[in-house]
């Protein structure tokens, strides 16, 4: 079985296995069952086990994430959430008893409804505010998404925990499950394990080491560079191109975690600090001006698998790197480049950087230094929105890569980070030129 299969099916299989065991335990208590009852209980149970699984995904289990990648996991999270909503709807429709006044409802119905309402809130916030998986293709939905406050929606998304608790109680109160010990033990085990992992993760975040801002400045009119040093503890060992969730404490900025790729790598220059480059866009990044040197933040991570260890250890002589960065998508590529420089590698490296305007360009001196140290390093900058003297004009495409000599389709490793359209364009280039899957490393920061 390949990695793609597991990244698509690991989590659904978790849900299906726990669903199968719960359904079996439930049926053991019965002699006979009718069709509508079977469909209704099955849809309800499967929806519940899927809720547990997506909550588990939401707790960002690092030991799984490092194999598949966070955007892939969140895509599965979104797809499974849609499926579980359909299942929950089937369950509700089959159990529909007409609209009774709440006080006339049994405890089972009441807890069920608390679960359903919480689930609707969770679904709404997930689909329309947090995830790009579903609204991605519609400009209208995208505008609607941008009009919502992400922080509030993120907070509301935690009603998932309320939904789980309510549905657990709902099943606990069902008369025909009351005496089914096997079912209760299984259900409690799954629920406690999932919620346990979730709270363990939350506590780990709260207890994670503190960092203070040692440097913050604007490198271009819309780009912030932040450097952190640990206050308590040390920097978790990270690989070039990894990312962290940054949460500021006590500063004039909301406390929700936001994911950003490191632009630094573990080098002499960044021996006890870590650097991020953040583009101003949206609420949170817009408030970065309120951050001062000395402010405290926690860093949750590292996450990501931009630079797999096997690739990092590959032969410098024969394996070229092509780093494709669109705008701020330079960040993880810069981290990979700095890591190569630190290794004193003489690898053939092509950094292809697509920018909109001349004012977005910076770091040229550092690149000059890299060239001196590694003659096989080549920088190609191309502007898309204005013509700049001495540089190319247009978008990164197959023809451009061939012209500048970055068409290392047979043996090179491609690292791509940038906005959605750029990722789509590069996927097409790789498909047209039959670049093997293992040689492509995408960082979709849009998730």
Partner 1 sequence: MGRKTKLGTQYMFAGIFVMLFVSMFFTKDYIMSVPEQADAGDVSLETVEDGTYTGTGEGFGGTLTVEVTVADGEITDVEVTDHSESQDDIDEVSVALEEVPANIAELNSLEVDVISGASLTSNAIMQAVANALSGEEPEASDNEDADDETEKEEPAIDLDAIEEENITYEDGTYTGSAEGFGDDDLEVEVTVEDGKISEVLITESSETEQVVADAFEFLPQAIVKRNSPDVDIVSGATVTSEALIEAVTNALEDAQ
Taking the least distance from each CB to partner 1, the nearer of 87 and 164 is 87
- Cβ of residue 52: shortest distance to partner 1, in angstroms? 14
- 3-class secondary structure, 247: strand
Work out how close the CB of 354 gets to partner 1 at its nearest, in angstroms, rounded to a whole number: 26
Give the strand order in the sheet containing 223-230.
258-261, 243-249, 296-303, 210-220, 223-230, 274-279
Spatial contact of 325 and 417, defined as CB atoms under 8 Å apart: yes
Name residue, tokens 């955007």: 71
CB of 297 to partner 1, least distance (A): 34
> Cα–Cα distance between 293 and 298 in angstroms, integer?
15
Nearer to partner 1, 174 or 216 (CB): 174
Question: What is residue 277's three-state secondary structure?
Answer: strand
Give 321 or 430: the residue with its C-beta nearer to partner 1.
Answer: 430
Q: Is the CB of 42 or the CB of 208 nearer to partner 1?
A: 42
- Quick one: 20 or 364, whose CB is closer to partner 1? 20
- Looking at the Cβ atoms of 69 and 241, the one nearer to partner 1 is 69
Q: Which three-class secondary structure state does DSSP give residue 409?
A: coil
Q: How many CB atoms lie within 10 A of CB 15?
A: 24
Q: Which one, 187 or 323, has the nearer CB to partner 1? A: 187
CB of 37 to partner 1, least distance (A): 6
Closest separation in Å from C-beta 182 to partner 1: 11
* 16 to 19, 52, 82, 174: CA distances (angstroms): 5, 11, 16, 22
User: Which residues make up the interface to partner 1 (CB under 8 A)?
Assistant: 8, 12, 16, 19-20, 23-24, 27-42, 46, 75-76, 78-80, 82-83, 86-87, 95, 97, 106, 133-134, 174-176, 178-179
- 209 with 237: CB under 8 angstroms? no
Q: Which residue has the tokens 């006590």?
A: 250
Angle (CA) 356 362 367, round 5°: 120
- The SS3 assignment for 391 reads coil
State the nearest-atom distance from the C-beta of 180 to partner 1, in Å: 8
C-alpha atoms less than 13 angstroms from C-alpha of 400 in its C-beta half-sphere: 22
Minimum CB–partner distance for residue 185 and partner 1 (Å):
17
Q: What is the β-pairing status of strands 296-303 and 321-326?
A: unpaired
Q: At what angle do helices 159-173 and 35-58 cross, to 10 degrees?
A: 150
Give the shortest CB-444-to-partner 1 separation in angstroms: 14
Is 443 within 8 Å of 241 (Cβ atoms)?
yes
* Shorter beta-carbon distance to partner 1: residue 54 or 422: 54
């Amino acid at each position: 079985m390949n990695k793609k299969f597991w990244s698509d099916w690991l989590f659904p299989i978790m849900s299906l296995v726990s669903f199968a065991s719960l359904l079996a335990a439930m049926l053991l208590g019965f002699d006979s069952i009718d069709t509508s009852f079977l469909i209704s209980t099955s849809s309800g149970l499967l929806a519940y086990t899927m809720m547990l699984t997506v909550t588990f995904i939401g707790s960002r289990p690092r030991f799984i994430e490092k194999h598949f990648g966070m955007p892939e996991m969140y895509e599965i999270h979104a797809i499974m959430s849609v499926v579980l909503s359909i299942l929950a709807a089937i369950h509700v429709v089959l159990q529909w008893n007409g609209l009774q006044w709440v006080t006339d409802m049994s405890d089972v119905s009441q807890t069920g409804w608390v679960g359903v309402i919480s689930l609707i809130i969770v679904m709404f916030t997930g689909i329309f505010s947090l995830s790009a998986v579903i609204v991605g293709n519609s400009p209208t939905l995208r505008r609607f998404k941008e009009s919502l406050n992400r922080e509030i929606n993120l907070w509301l998304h935690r009603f998932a925990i309320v939904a789980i608790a309510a549905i657990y109680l709902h099943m606990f109160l069902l008369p025909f499950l009351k005496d089914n010990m096997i079912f209760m033990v299984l259900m409690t085990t799954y629920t406690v394990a999932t919620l346990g992992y979730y709270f363990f993760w939350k506590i780990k975040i709260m207890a994670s080491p503190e960092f203070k801002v040692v440097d913050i400045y604007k490198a271009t009119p819309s780009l912030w560079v932040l450097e952190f040093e640990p206050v308590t503890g040390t920097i978790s060992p990270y690989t070039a191109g990894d990312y962290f969730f940054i949460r500021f404490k006590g500063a004039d900025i909301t406390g929700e975690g936001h994911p950003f790729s490191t632009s630094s790598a573990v080098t002499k220059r960044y021996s006890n600090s870590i650097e991020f480059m953040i583009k101003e866009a949206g609420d949170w990044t817009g408030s970065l001006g309120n951050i001062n040197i000395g402010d405290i933040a926690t860093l949750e991570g590292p996450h990501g698998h931009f630079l797999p260890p096997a690739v990092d250890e590959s032969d410098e002589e024969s394996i070229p790197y092509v780093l494709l960065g669109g705008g701020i998508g330079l960040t993880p590529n810069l981290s990979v480049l700095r890591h190569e420089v630190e290794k004193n590698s003489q690898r053939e490296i092509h950094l292809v950087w697509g920018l909109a305007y001349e004012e977005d360009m910076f770091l040229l001196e550092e690149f000059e230094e890299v060239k001196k140290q590694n003659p096989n390093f080549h920088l190609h900058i191309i502007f898309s929105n204005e013509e700049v003297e001495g540089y190319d004009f247009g978008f990164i495409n197959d023809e451009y890569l061939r012209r500048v000599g970055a068409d290392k389709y047979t043996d090179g490793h491609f690292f791509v980070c940038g906005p959605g359209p750029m990722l789509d364009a590069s996927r097409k280039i790789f498909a047209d030129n039959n670049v093997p899957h293992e040689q492509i490393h995408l960082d979709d920061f849009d998730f």
